[in-house]
Amino acid sequence: MARPSNARQQLVETAARLFQSRGFHGTGLSLILEESGAPKGSFYHHFPGGKDELAVAAMQWSSLEIEDFIETAFKDAKTFQAGAKAFSVRLADWFEKSGFSEGCPVASVLLETAPESDDLRREALAIFDLWIGALESQARRLGYNHPRKTAEALMMGLEGAWLLARARQSRKPFEIAVSSALAG
């Protein structure tokens, strides 16, 4: 009996990593195929909608890691501030480990494809709303005032931190983003 292929998952993970570091337009299908080791036929079998369909899957897969970061950061947090700080430290650690090259897994696709691809824009919005909702839930659980506003401010600050951290090659913007988001 034939062993099931993991080509789809290899394509998704490879695309996610490449989109984060090289951008959507800077990542060609041939590079994704080469680095994933998946055959070209596999790509079209799993993603008949092409690169945009693969980008949706890559954003969704990457989103799970950010959701895990949020859950882990807030699991034992006694305050929203402590959880937010732990979350930003985890993001900064990941970013620094990548040599400040792996940007936000959603923003890296969104910035290059909107408004041309409404499907990718909608998917990015759904993921951002999911992350904001998870942060809002934690803010509410920990008794923070204005949980939605706080969650949105934190997410906006961290997204901006990703850009500035890349430009500065420093994790410091993540620290600033958290303190600024929680100051208001």
The pLDDT tens digits for 127-141 are 999 999 999 999 999
Q: Stretch 65-86: mean pLDDT, rounded? A: 96
Give the pLDDT mean for 136-147: 94
Chain position carrying tokens 């969650």: 151
- State the sign of the Cα–Cα–Cα–Cα dihedral 67, 70, 76, 80: negative
Amino acid in the structure at residue 161: A
Q: What is the pLDDT of residue 3?
A: 45
Phi-psi region of 146 (alpha: psi -120 to 50; beta: other; left: phi over 0): left
d(CA 125, CA 128): 5
- Specify burial of residue 180 (Cβ count, 10 A radius: 0-12, 13-18, 19+): middle
Q: What is the pLDDT of residue 115?
A: 87
pLDDT class of 69 with cuts at 50, 70, 90: very high
Beta carbons of 104 and 122 less than 8 angstroms apart: no
What is the per-residue pLDDT for 2?
46
Mean pLDDT of 106-124: 93
pLDDT digits (tens, 9 = 90+) for 16-60: 999 999 999 999 999 999 999 999 999 999 999 999 999 999 999
Q: Is the peptide bond before 147 cis (omega within 30 degrees of 0)?
A: no
Find the mean pLDDT for residues 165-177. 95
Residue 12 has pLDDT above 90, yes or no: yes
Strand spans (E) along the chain:
none
Share of the chain above pLDDT 90, in %: 89
Rounded mean pLDDT of the chain?
A: 93
pLDDT at 1: 44
Phi/psi at 43 (5° precision): -60, -50
Which tokens hold the place of 17?
Answer: 């990593």
Report residue 184's pLDDT band, with 50, 70 and 90 as the boundaries: low
The mean pLDDT of 145-157, rounded to a whole number, is 95
Select from 138, 131, 171 the least CA-distant residue to 152. 131
CATH code matching the domain that covers 7-183, chosen among 1.10.357.10, 1.10.390.10, 1.20.1280.290, 2.40.30.40: 1.10.357.10
- By the 10 Å C-beta count (0-12 exposed, 13-18 middle, 19+ buried), 171 is classed as middle
Q: Which two tokens stand for residue 155?
A: 């997410």
- Using alpha carbons only, what angle is made at residue 178 by residues 176 and 130, rounded to the nearest 5 degrees? 135
